[in-house]
Structure 1
Amino acid sequence: MRARPVLPVLALAAAAAVLVAPPASAAPPQPACGDTLTVDTALRADLTCLAGPGLRLAAGVTLDLRGHTLRGPGDGVGVEVASAGAVRVRNGTVTGWGAGLRTYGVEDAGTGPLTVDRMRFRDNVDGLDVSATQLGEWAKPTTITRSTVTGSSDAAVEAAWSVPVTIDRTTLADNRFGLRADGGDTVVTGSRFLRHERAISVYEGSVDVRDTAFDDNATGITAASVAVVTVAGSRFTGSETAVDGSWAFLDVAGSRFTANTTAVLIGTYGASVDGSTFRANGTGVALGTPAGTGSVTGNVFRLNGDGIRLDPGDAGIEVGGNDVRRSTGWGIYAPGVTDLGGNVARGNGNEPQCVGVVCDGTPQS
């Protein structure tokens, strides 16, 4: 029997394979400054632009910087993001722009979410400006995760006109302002705010801060107008004012305040300060407005200037279950408040140890 030739058979098989193989799709080329990206795109190298915008993202587009840098001329916008569609920006650095990232409106297209992940915004005027219009049009829900925003001469994150923002596992450092939110609902988790004039400023909206550290800010959290401020499991160190709730509905729980000039200011709209620790502050809890309401309960104060100083006090404030020791000034000074009982004050500099409430069975003064 004669053997079949092998080479022709192999050649025919290879030809068949070529015929059925799908054509390879070419990856989009390296974009140029000023391009509008309409498909998912990855940078292949750093990109330096002499004018803005650097890159514009259409609805539904993902930009992956692949560790590269988009560098600007000191003004303009680095990455412009459509209000429509789910847009993602990830894995790189944007530096030297008027705004590192800014949204733009798309008429009659609805809005979709923006996700910013593993990004570095450095030395821009604003890091990210995700503001809507004055009427709240084009409010693009924004999530910033595992990122850093540093060296912004104005705001690290600007969110005006009711844009919901989530900041998670992100560091904001050495900006003038950290987060400036107007009217929207903001959630901050597992993050750090370092060395700001104001770390978080919220106006007529809400901010929910959990498991977050604030170090060496002039003001940690402040409500510029009526707002809802919730703080849980967080740490504040080295602020002039750690939490200014003078004009907020304020809830502080399970947090730690160390070496601030004033740790917490409560005000007119109602405050709950509960289960927190205050150590080596100038004042632990004080009034930020002439009239205050709410409760100060179950807190521990050690080595402060004044522990609790509510002067003048108000029957709308309830004080109970606090343990205040070794203040250089007042332990609890709260004339006129409602006494819930259970307060302890010992070894504080001023006598009597408590004014306005009973401590350790000592009559009120």
Structure 2
Amino acid sequence: MRARAGLAALAALALALGAVLAAPPASASSASPACGDTLTRDTVLAADLTCADGPGLRLAPGVSLDLGGHTLRGPGHGVGVEVATAGTAAVRGGTVAGWATGVGTVVVTSAPRGPLAVDRMTFRDNAEGLDVSGEPGTGDHRKVTTVTASRFAGNGTAVLAAWFGTVRVNGTTFADNATAVVLDGGGGTVTRSRFVRNELAVAAVEADADVSGSTFVANTVGVRAAYGAMATLRDDEFVGSEVAVDAETGTLTVSGSRFTANGTGVVLGLLASVVEGSTFQANGTGVTHRGAWREASRIEGNVLRLNGDGIHLDPADPLVAIGGNDVRHNARWGVHAPGATDLGGNVARGNGYRPPCLGVVCRWASRS
């Protein structure tokens, strides 16, 4: 749960920070603050800091913290760094470990909101690494956050953006977390990032998720879209996951991506989905679904080779349209899609079952 100051604490904090709000923070200085301190100027930590209670440190509006390569270590509860919702802030250059929430926000209403930048940080063994959610119930006081060149390892939830929170993740690694990125009622982008051995890498729940140029390796589930979420995946790579992408009860668009050696590449859900221009190789099943669609979906222009099944949809559903797919050397079906709408242009060769395609026509492919 995110940190929220009581009314008395907020009033005291606002009085203490009056001078800070009147002028920008002074230039950063090296310091060794005590646990529980409120920093009123940009600060560089001079040493590791281990706290027996929380919060670890609190940043006044407009103040940034550079950990200077040091670690802020917690007792397993509390918040490591509380960032004021007001003002522009940054947390960079070190490690936050062993907290209920590594970095979270505290409501300060006496100045306009500003963004938060998290850069070159490591979040390790926290229940939540970074929480940039809006106020529960209202979505107020959310802080738009950018995460760059960071690492999240062994956390319960690595990044949480709920209640209309917005997060942009770039060039960041997530390893061995229960859930890496949760967009719940908010939204976010993930670019050029890497997800390894997470139980769930990206979860979009009633949210917009845009994932591009990223790599997913050996996750239980790579990306899941639920409760009307809209997930767009472009130029991503999924390797060795149990389920690479599960549309569940969301809307999914996959393009230009590669799926290799996953149990299942893409599971289409109950809402409209598009899978196009992607490659599926050596998966148990390339593309499947969890039942009849309520909205039309399309599977077009993909290459599916050396899978158990290329495309396997059962039971029949006329709302799915299939065309222009190249299905070769799959162990069982090239395409199994009874009742599908045939867009034409499907080709097949060397699949285990005869005929290789059911529900659409596949012409014999050349050896090229």
State the TM-score, normalized to the length of structure 2. Answer: 0.89
Taking the TM superposition and a 5 Å limit, the aligned residue runs for 1:118-133 are: 118-133=120-135
Q: CA deviation at 1:245?
A: 0.9
Task: Single out whichever of 127-136 and 209-218 deviates more from structure 2.
Answer: 127-136
Task: Single out whichever of 206-215 and 64-73 deviates more from structure 2.
Answer: 64-73
CA distance in 1, matches of 2:162, 2:235: 27
CA distance 1:26–1:307, shift in 2 (3 Å)? closer
CA distance in 1, matches of 2:138, 2:110: 15
Report what 2:299 is aligned to. Answer: 296
* Aligned partner of 1:168 among 167, 170, 193: 170
**How high is the sequence identity, in percent, across the aligned residues?**
55
Q: CA deviation at 1:289?
A: 3.0
* Aligned partner of 2:187 among 163, 185, 188: 185
Aligned length: 338
Q: Does 1:268 align with 2:283?
A: no
CA distance in 1, matches of 2:62, 2:308: 55
Q: Does 1:205 align with 2:218?
A: no
Q: CA deviation at 1:267?
A: 2.3
Which structure's CA Rg is the greater one? 1
* Aligned partner of 2:146 among 143, 147, 153: 143
Q: CA deviation at 1:172?
A: 0.7
Check the 8 A contact 1:334/1:355 in 2, yes or no.
Answer: yes
Q: CA deviation at 1:105?
A: 1.2
CA distance 1:218–1:26, shift in 2 (3 Å)? closer
CA distance 1:49–1:303, shift in 2 (3 Å)? same
SS in 2 for 1:120: strand
CA distance in 1, matches of 2:31, 2:95: 19
RMSD: 1.7
Q: Does 1:248 align with 2:250?
A: yes
CA distance in 2, matches of 1:106, 1:288: 46
Unaligned runs of 5+ in 1: 1-24
* CA deviation string 1:100-124 (max 9, x = no partner): 1111111353421110000011111
Code of the residue aligned with 2:332 in structure 1: it is G
CA distance in 2, matches of 1:172, 1:278: 24
* Aligned partner of 2:82 among 67, 80, 83: 80
CA distance 1:26–1:104, shift in 2 (3 Å)? closer
Q: Does 1:68 align with 2:70?
A: yes
Check the 8 A contact 1:278/1:284 in 2, yes or no.
Answer: yes
* CA deviation string 1:50-87 (max 9, x = no partner): 11111001111110111111111121111011111111
* CA deviation string 1:259-298 (max 9, x = no partner): 1111101123211111100011111011123226211111
* CA deviation string 1:184-232 (max 9, x = no partner): 1210000011111111111101100000001111100002311100001
Q: CA deviation at 1:334?
A: 0.8
State the TM-score, normalized to the length of structure 1. Answer: 0.89
Code of the residue aligned with 2:255 in structure 1: it is A
Report what 2:15 is aligned to. Answer: none
Report what 1:109 is aligned to. Answer: 111
Q: Does 1:231 align with 2:272?
A: no
CA distance in 1, matches of 2:291, 2:131: 32
SS in 2 for 1:112: strand
* CA deviation string 1:106-149 (max 9, x = no partner): 13534211100000111111111111122101111111000001
SS in 2 for 1:304: coil
